[in-house]
Amino acid sequence: MATKLVQQPIPASHVIPPKPRATKIIKTLRLFSATHPRTKSTIFGECKSGFRPIYSTKVAEQSPGMVEDETLAQAKTELYQAIQGLNRGIFGIPSAKKSEIEGLVKLLESHNPTPDPTLKLEKVGGCWKLVYSTITILGSKRTKLGLRDFISLGDFFQIIDVTKGKAVNVVKFSAKGLNLFNGKLTIEASFKISSKARVDISYDQSSITPDQLMNVFRKNYDLLLGIFNPQGWLEITYVDDKLRIGRDDKGNIFILERSGENEP
């Protein structure tokens, strides 16, 4: 008769629990992640897992031309602000204000976009309106010309015909009183190019209209003409599409802006 073997149960304390498979999977994943980093997409491109992207901001660089344009625009704005309310400086201004204006003029001259203006006379031709000048009418001159109460100065225009080499200066006046009338002094001149920035100017002729205004100025006509006569030389120190600056042989500064009028 065969003997039946009976297996004795193994005590629970001797049972070695199997290692969970999850542990092995986790280790495998960790090992895989260390040797083969994963990547994830960002708005800056793909980035490896475990690495934080370093972002840098690039400051927009301005070209020299942009800086130059900004400098000119700022200087012109400050110049227009400085000459506002000065009546073109014709009756004098404080020395501090005059120095301020001259400093802005020098700044613009140092950034002149047209360094050889007589080689590009198309930029000079046309009608210009005077907005500031260091020419002054003071003291007894102003009294003799009746420019204190009776006569008022109007606009100053300059019309340049580059094809004919001609320049016409027009100074407008208005008379107060019972017989109110307007008139103008017209001075015609010729110019010739003497350098890349300078022209020589010769006086041709002048007139005052109407006759009533001529009667007012007749006694002191030479004085009036001596103030506004452009004869001599003029150096164009700055010119662009809208603004022109010049200096003459008498040390005067002229600032003019392009006018929309063909003839004043």
162-175 per-position pLDDT tens digit: 999 999 999 999 98
Average pLDDT over residues 44-57: 47
Phi first, then psi: give them for residue 61, nearest 5 degrees. -90, 140
The predicted structure's pLDDT at residue 66 = 72
C-alpha triplet 243, 245, 251: angle, nearest 5°: 165
Model pTM score: 0.74
138-153 per-position pLDDT tens digit: 999 999 999 988 899 9
Point out which residues pair with 256 in neighbouring strands.
Answer: 130, 244
pLDDT at 128 over 80: yes
Q: Considering only CA atoms, which of 139, 151, 152 is closest in space to residue 92?
A: 139
Phi first, then psi: give them for residue 239, nearest 5 degrees. -155, 135
Query: Between residues 75 and 15, which one has the greater pLDDT?
Result: 75
